Amino acid sequence: MGINGEADNLWFLRFLTSTDDLRKLARMREATIRKIPGIGVKYASVILQWQKRAQFSHDVEWVGEMIQEDAVRVMELHDKIQSLEAKIEDVAQGSDMAQTLATIPGFGAVCTAELAGEMGTIERFSNEGSLALYLGMANLDNSSGKQKGSKPPRQVNTRAKAAMMIAVDRHRKKVLESQRYYEKKRAEGKKHNQAVRALGRHLCRVIFKMLKMNRRYILSQ
């Protein structure tokens, strides 16, 4: 339809399903558009601009219904995800480890709950290096002779690693010092995921000390 680049935006999906025929969207009045939840002045203006150039292919007569059904399913899935995230956040409220991890900028409720659940207790780890291996933030040396290389350790918890990668990537966008460290690694030729893991390796040291000493994250000035 050419209105919006992100097909999962709720305002767009609600607009898409606000009538029984997609072609009617091109003739919908502004007053009616503004009544759709999530559509204010900004998005109503976007829609009105689209209406001036709106065109539909002949296929819309038979694919329009399928498009709207898919939009409804996406909205239902969005509601389910929100409900699950709310439940996860409630569970995390009862975990001291999750609450401690949540003080790290960028570490949201879902990721901290996932990390806390997979880690269980910090006492499982003899040092920050073993924690880094478990979270997938460090590789084992696989060098031999003149050939240098590394390999992922078998003891990596893939669920915890996925949560850690998301949390670290969000963290570096919120903390200038971490963002600079990430950019430094990228300048050294590291790929995005490699740079995120390098930052994650550093954060494992911080996390290990935080959990061992039961301290919150302190942002350096």
| In a shared domain, residues 83 and 100 | no
* Residue finishing a domain among 90, 119, 146: 90
pLDDT of residue 140: 56
| In a shared domain, residues 70 and 108 | no
pLDDT of residue 93: 73
What does pLDDT average to over the chain?
Answer: 87
| In a shared domain, residues 98 and 202 | yes
Share of the chain above pLDDT 90, in %: 66
- At residue 90, does pLDDT exceed 90? no
| In a shared domain, residues 98 and 207 | yes
| In a shared domain, residues 64 and 120 | no
* Residue finishing a domain among 34, 64, 90: 90
Beta bridge partners, 147, equal 144
| In a shared domain, residues 67 and 22 | yes
Mean pLDDT (whole number) for 86-105: 83
- With bands split at pLDDT 50, 70 and 90, how would you rate the model's confidence at 197? very high
| In a shared domain, residues 129 and 35 | no
Candidate from 76-80, 160-164, 204-208 with smallest mean pLDDT: 76-80
Q: For the chain, what is the domain count? A: 2
Share of the chain above pLDDT 70, in %: 87
* Residue finishing a domain among 54, 75, 90: 90
| In a shared domain, residues 83 and 110 | no
Q: pTM value?
A: 0.62
Ordered DSSP codes for 166-214:
HHHHHHHHH-HHHHHHHHHHHHTT--HHHHHHHHHHHHHHHHHHHHHHT
pLDDT of residue 69: 93
| In a shared domain, residues 61 and 100 | no
| In a shared domain, residues 169 and 203 | yes
220: in domain: no
pLDDT of residue 141: 47
pLDDT tens digits for range 37-74: 999 899 999 999 999 999 888 888 889 999 999 999 99
* 8 Å CB contact between 111 and 166: yes
Look up the domain containing 79 and give its range: 10-90
pLDDT tens digits for range 114-162: 899 899 999 999 999 999 999 999 865 444 445 554 555 667 899 999 9
Distance separating alpha carbons of residues 47 and 27, to the nearest angstrom:
11
pLDDT of residue 142: 45
Distance separating alpha carbons of residues 44 and 30, to the nearest angstrom:
7
185: in domain: yes
| In a shared domain, residues 101 and 168 | yes
46: in domain: yes
| In a shared domain, residues 58 and 71 | yes
- CA 124 to centroid of chain Cα atoms: 28
* Residue 144 structure tokens: 């031999």
